[in-house]
């Protein structure tokens, strides 16, 4: 459940834009015209990798409230968890850390696997050191496309 969501999130966060961009490490500048924005705006393109550990001595994602017994093997309804995951420049665990993904997830449906996600990307390097990007959204395994804003 949460693993599938987080794998999906990792996949989505590693996708790169195929439009013109000035790439400088994990953040670049986009040409607004290349994505259909006609008036002057500054856009930034972030690309980093989400590293999550569920087991071992130092897990970075943990379940803090288990699901209700009735839903334990179907939808995991009632499960609540938190995470504090590294964001790195590359896919390797030893890549330079440029921030953290900190947040919580909750299984919110009694009939299907739906997960509410609320999390921050707390950036710790470069031009955006000290900045935070906040996301909230619903991920459903029954949907082909999900969005988090």
Q: Which of 34, 10, 7 is nearest to 22 (CA)?
A: 34
Q: Which of 84, 87, 29 is nearest to 58 (CA)?
A: 84
Please write the tens of the pLDDT for every residue from 73-114: 788 999 999 999 999 999 998 999 999 999 999 999 998 889
How high is the mean pLDDT of the chain? 79
pTM of the model: 0.66
- Token duo for residue 122: 């707390």
Burial 67-78 (b: 16+ CB within 10 A, else e): beeebeeebbbb
Distance of CA 44 to the CA centre of its chain: 17
């Amino acid at each position: 459940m949460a693993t599938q969501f987080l794998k999906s999130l990792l996949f989505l966060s590693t996708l790169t834009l195929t439009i013109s961009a000035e790439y400088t490490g994990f953040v670049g500048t986009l040409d607004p015209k290349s994505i259909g924005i006609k008036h002057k705006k500054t856009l930034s393109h972030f690309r980093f990798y989400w590293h999550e550990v569920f087991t071992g001595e130092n897990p970075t994602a943990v379940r803090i409230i288990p699901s209700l017994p009735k839903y334990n093997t179907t939808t995991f309804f009632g499960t609540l968890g938190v995470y504090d995951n590294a964001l790195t420049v590359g896919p390797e665990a030893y890549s330079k850390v440029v921030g953290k993904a900190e947040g919580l997830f909750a299984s919110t449906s009694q009939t299907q696997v739906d997960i509410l996600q609320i999390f921050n990307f707390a950036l710790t390097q470069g031009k955006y050191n000290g900045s935070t990007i906040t996301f909230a959204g619903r991920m459903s395994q029954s949907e082909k496309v999900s969005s988090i804003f």
